[in-house]
Amino acid sequence: MLTGDNGLEVQLGGKGEVYSFTTVTDPPAGYEEQAPYILALVKLDEGPMVTAQLTDLDGPVAIGMRVEMVTRKLRTEGQSGMIVYGYKFRPLLP
C-alpha cells in the first residue's frame, strides 16, 4: 500500500523490473554481514520506483529483469540480537 501526498492509498502488486542496480561492498552500519550485496532501483508495474536489495539470485542481474517482492531478513540489531525483517526483491518465478 502506498499513500501519496493527496492521501490517496494505492495497492501495489509487488512485481516489477530492475531499472538500475549496483553492488554494495562497503555497507552502512548494521548491514555488514550481508556484503557484498546487490541494491536495485525497481520500477513497479504500477509505476512507482523503490530501492531494495536483490535476493535469491542464481545468475547475473540485468536491467529489465523481472522481479517480485518478498519478505526477508534485513539485519540483526546490535547486542539485543533482534532480527529486523523487510522487503527485498527476487527474480520472478515462472
Upstream peptide bond of 36 is cis (omega within 30 degrees of 0): yes
Domains assigned to the chain: 14-91 (2.40.50)
Q: How many CB atoms within 10 Å of residue 18?
A: 20
Burial class (CB in 10 A: 0-12, 13-18, 19+), 16: buried
- pLDDT at residue number 11: 80
Q: What is the pLDDT of residue 30?
A: 74
For the chain (94 residues), the mean pLDDT of every run of 10, in chain order, is 68 94 90 88 96 95 98 85 93 89
CA pair distance 65, 89, nearest whole angstrom: 11
pTM of structure: 0.82
CB atoms closer than 10 angstroms to residue 10: 11
